[in-house]
Amino acid sequence: MINGVLDQAQPFGPLGKGERLALVDVGSGVFEGYCHGGRAQERAYGGAVVGQALAAAYRTVEDDRSVHSLHAYFLRAVTPELPTRYVSDAVRDGRSYSVRQVTASQGGKEALTMSVSFKLPQPEGSRRQPGMPDVPGPEGLDDGFAFRPATHPLRTAVECRQVPDAVGPDEGQIERFAWFRSVGALPDDPALHACALAYISDAPLAPTALVPYGEPRPVGVVLASLDHAMWFHRPFRADEWLLYACRSRLAGDGRTLAYGEFWDRRGQLVASVVQEALLRARA
């Protein structure tokens, strides 16, 4: 079904209609799409690149398989002004699992490499998980994207309600919580919801390390994602409120490491994220 939804490239359309993740099929596992700007408008938003790369991988596997993990490395920034090309190569198709290797490039230079693993539905086994963080619901909370212009592509695609920042109980650990959902309803396609969550996941995670600076864009600090990994645990809807619990546990040697968890309103852990980012003073 994802082929029917993501069949044209529209970089600035609403995420609720799937346009942000749309790709043009060039043929032989090659796709092209446009990514909008992120923190620095001259550079594409990393979540858009990851979301489109996952969409490219999805379009080269059988419809009965769903993503359970992805591991990406950001190699260089891409510009929103030019199309980004995604090449999805089949690494393996087993009886239960499939692996795809996606390379994103622009102007002939590689910008991202990502391994994606898909699986068939499995018999339900034992389940366990920690308890959901005890935080207020999204109703009545402040807009977490209020510092961005109203026309910023992220604000027109994603709703964010910020729980007041808090430093965790362990020395050096920073915790931040926010509720997210797409602006507008998404089609009933689990693949599209997975791509949408990948798109959302990059926005607040690494910036958790900026909480001690007291502002979302501190002057003189460089923050840039180096890699991005996600694990998808159970079905969810990206157009319904999901709590994103972000924790920055380490900063040093010019890098920071952050962990994220997505929870639905029933208290189920639906996805986990880990990201390392460059964090250093601007030269």
The one catalytic residue among 225, 239, 248, 264: 225
If one counts every other C-beta atom within 10 angstroms of the C-beta of residue 78, the result is: 26
Which two tokens mark 38?
């992120």
Known catalytic residue at 173:
no
The one catalytic residue among 52, 98, 248, 275: 275
Query: What residue ranges in the chain does DSSP mark as E strands?
Result: 24-27, 30-33, 66-74, 84-93, 97-106, 109-119, 142-143, 158-162, 166-167, 174-182, 221-232, 242-252, 255-263, 269-281
Known catalytic residue at 93:
no
Known catalytic residue at 134:
no
Which residues, including other chains, have CB under 8 Å from residue 94's CB and lie 6 or more apart?
Answer: none
User: Quick check: 270 and 261 in contact, CB under 8 A?
Assistant: no
The one catalytic residue among 202, 239, 248, 264: 202
Side-chain half-sphere CA neighbours of 126 within 13 A: 1
User: Quick check: 238 and 193 in contact, CB under 8 A?
Assistant: yes
Q: Any idea which residue has 């920690």 for tokens?
A: 130
Which two tokens mark 279?
């964090």
The Cα 15–Cα 21 span in angstroms is 7
Name the CA dihedral angle for 14, 176, 116, 239, rounded to a multiple of 10 degrees.
-30
For the chain, how big is the Rg over CA atoms in Å?
Answer: 18
User: Quick check: 52 and 84 in contact, CB under 8 A?
Assistant: yes
Residues designated as active site: 202, 225, 275
